């Protein structure tokens, strides 16, 4: 069940508070994704604004085959691409960030956290300190990897939702996510070794 289904019903009845709630819930996640796709904050904000206009205009045509969240991100991806994002073609070996497959469990998660992370987690992981480091690490990822990581790990979209939003195959999404996570881990491991 879509947690935003009630908002959809209220929106269709013209309830402005429902729109304000929807914007409050998704504005920042949409800006994060848009910013990963376009060259400037201004273009990202424009893409998000265009997305909200598209939502208002297309609300009657939304058939509910996906969640509202997925629909919003699909619209945003199309708007961001047409608002000046540069689509970077990536070869399958773009920055080989391969990690030994035994590092992952059957569920695709890391089998074991890095030992140093376990030992130093309380003393090292201060959110205010690490947020800029993580944000900078995300910025170092190739665009498509960054987009998948943002949708999956920051915004909590499922495999299918991320594939639909970015219009990529499930296999490609898995590869992009794996490489993005591996590169992030490589960057963060290096940062922790320096501290």
Least Cα distance to 137 among 73, 190, 193, 194 occurs for 190
163-169, long-range: CB < 8 A, 24+ apart: 164/66, 164/70, 164/74, 165/70, 165/73, 165/74, 165/76, 165/77, 166/77, 167/74, 167/77, 168/144
What end-to-end distance do the CA atoms of the chain give, in Å?
44
**Which pLDDT score, from 0 to 100, does residue 90 have?**
32
Instruction: Summarize the confidence of residues 13-25 as an average pLDDT.
Output: 91
**Res 95 pLDDT > 50:** no
**Which pLDDT score, from 0 to 100, does residue 3 have?**
77
Q: Which two tokens stand for residue 2?
A: 């879509």
* Secondary structure (3-state) at 110: strand
For the ranges 2-6, 65-69, 84-88, 146-150, which has the lowest average pLDDT?
Answer: 84-88
Could you write out the DSSP letters of every residue in 118-150?
HHHHHHH--HHHHHHHHHHHHHHS-HHHHHHHI
* Secondary structure (3-state) at 91: coil
Whole-angstrom distance, CA of residue 108 vs CA of residue 64: 29
Question: pLDDT higher for 23 or 193?
Answer: 23
**Which tens digit of pLDDT belongs to each residue from 139-173?**
889 989 999 999 999 888 999 999 999 999 999 99
**Which tens digit of pLDDT belongs to each residue from 105-139?**
766 666 665 555 544 555 555 556 777 888 888 88
Write down all domains in the chain, each with its CATH number in brackets.
5-82 (1.10.1740.10), 101-194 (1.10.10.10)
**Which pLDDT score, from 0 to 100, does residue 109 have?**
63
**Which pLDDT score, from 0 to 100, does residue 100 have?**
62
Whole-angstrom distance, CA of residue 2 vs CA of residue 33: 21
Cα torsion for 165, 169, 173, 175, to the nearest 10°?
-170
Residue 37 sits at the vertex; the CA angle it makes with 73 and 18, to the nearest 5 degrees, is 30
**Which pLDDT score, from 0 to 100, does residue 92 have?**
40
**Which pLDDT score, from 0 to 100, does residue 112 have?**
67
User: How large is the angle between the packed helices 170-194 and 159-166, nearest 10 degrees?
Assistant: 100
**Which pLDDT score, from 0 to 100, does residue 195 have?**
57
**Which tens digit of pLDDT belongs to each residue from 24-74?**
999 999 999 998 888 888 889 999 999 999 998 888 888 888 889 999 999
């Amino acid at each position: 069940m879509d947690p935003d289904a009630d908002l959809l019903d209220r929106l269709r009845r013209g309830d402005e508070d429902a729109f304000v709630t929807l914007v409050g819930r998704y504005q920042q996640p949409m800006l994060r994704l848009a910013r990963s796709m376009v060259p400037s904050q201004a273009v990202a904000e424009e893409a998000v604004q265009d997305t909200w206009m598209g939502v208002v205009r297309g609300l009657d045509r939304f058939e509910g085959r996906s969640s509202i969240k997925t629909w919003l991100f699909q619209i945003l991806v199309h708007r961001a691409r047409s608002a000046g994002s540069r689509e970077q073609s990536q070869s399958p070996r773009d920055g080989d960030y391969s990690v030994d497959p035994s590092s992952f469990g059957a569920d695709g998660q890391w089998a074991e956290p890095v030992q140093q992370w376990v030992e130093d987690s309380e003393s090292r992981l201060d959110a205010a300190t690490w947020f800029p480091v993580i944000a900078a690490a995300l910025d170092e990822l190739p665009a498509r990897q960054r987009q998948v990581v943002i949708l999956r790990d920051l915004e909590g979209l499922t495999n299918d939702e991320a594939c639909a939003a970015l219009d990529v195959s499930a296999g490609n999404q898995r590869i992009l996510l794996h490489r993005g996570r591996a590169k992030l881990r490589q960057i963060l491991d290096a940062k922790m070794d320096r501290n």
